[in-house]
Amino acid sequence: MKLLLDFLPILLFFGTFKYAENHREWAAALASQHFGWMVAGGSVGPAEAPVMLATLVVIAASLAQVAWLKLSGRKVDLMLWISLSLVVVLGGLTVWLKSETFIKWKPTGLYWAMALSFLVSQWLFGRNLLKLMLGEQIQLPDAVWQRLSWAWVGFFTGMGVLNLWVAYHFSTDAWVNFKLFGGIGLMLVFTLAQGLYIGRYLPDEPAADDKAS
């Protein structure tokens, strides 16, 4: 359930953009009629409408996500607050200025915020953030926790750069595809690679005959 909630804004952004991309005239008319007051000039063209509608949907979904967590008495993680702030500010600029550039920076801002959180936790507070999150479930040497933490810093930093490279060198449609499939796919591959690395340092399970004795 939590995994679906985390990815819901991305899925809604993707679905809205793809539908509006295939119905540009309809999307432009809808955006101009109902959301024209939000944009400079008061009207939205067919080329701008898909990303604008998708941005409005992801802003609404992110706000609803945080509101639902608060109303249900659940904790809102720091990264979710940062994500909400980025999507509201950068998404708002995208809508007002009718420029897709701002919303394309949102994933990079979030990736770099994650990398920075690992660095700040280690350098300023002397705490390994990854160990704090997983240390109760997994027992590993401190040196391994340190290498894993640095690996996540490198991964998030690289993902931020990769997102900008795709955003500035490919079409918006290609960037939207990368945002969903590329971002999630690379995250899964990296997580699996870390799991294989961690497996080398986990204590061996006692043999069945040792348990019996």
Question: How do residues 146-198 score in pLDDT, each as one tens digit?
Answer: 999 999 999 999 999 999 999 999 999 999 999 999 999 999 999 999 989 88
Q: pLDDT value at position 49?
A: 94
Q: Is the dihedral of CA 11, 14, 19, 20 positive or negative?
A: positive
**Could you read off the pLDDT of 110-123 as tens digits, one per residue?**
999 999 999 998 88
| Residue 22 tokens, joined | 């295939």
What's the pLDDT at 205?
57
Long-range contacts of 43-50 (CB under 8 A, 24+ apart): 44/98, 45/98, 48/98, 48/100, 49/20, 49/24, 50/16, 50/17, 50/20, 50/21, 50/24, 50/172
Residue 125 half-sphere exposure, CB side, CA atoms within 13 Å?
A: 10
* Whole-prediction pTM: 0.86
Q: Where are the alpha helices (DSSP H) in the chain?
A: 2-22, 24-35, 49-71, 78-97, 101-104, 106-123, 129-134, 142-169, 172-177, 183-199, 208-212
- Return the pLDDT at 124: 82
How far is the C-alpha of 7 from the C-alpha of 67, rounded, in Å? 16
- Both tokens assigned to 45: 């063209």
Residue that is written with structure tokens 């998030």 in the block:
156
pLDDT band at 208 (very low <50, low <70, confident <90, very high): very low
Kindly report, residue by residue over 71-104, the tens digit of the pLDDT.
998 888 888 899 999 999 999 999 999 999 999 9
Q: How confident is the model at residue 14 (pLDDT cuts 50, 70, 90)?
A: very high
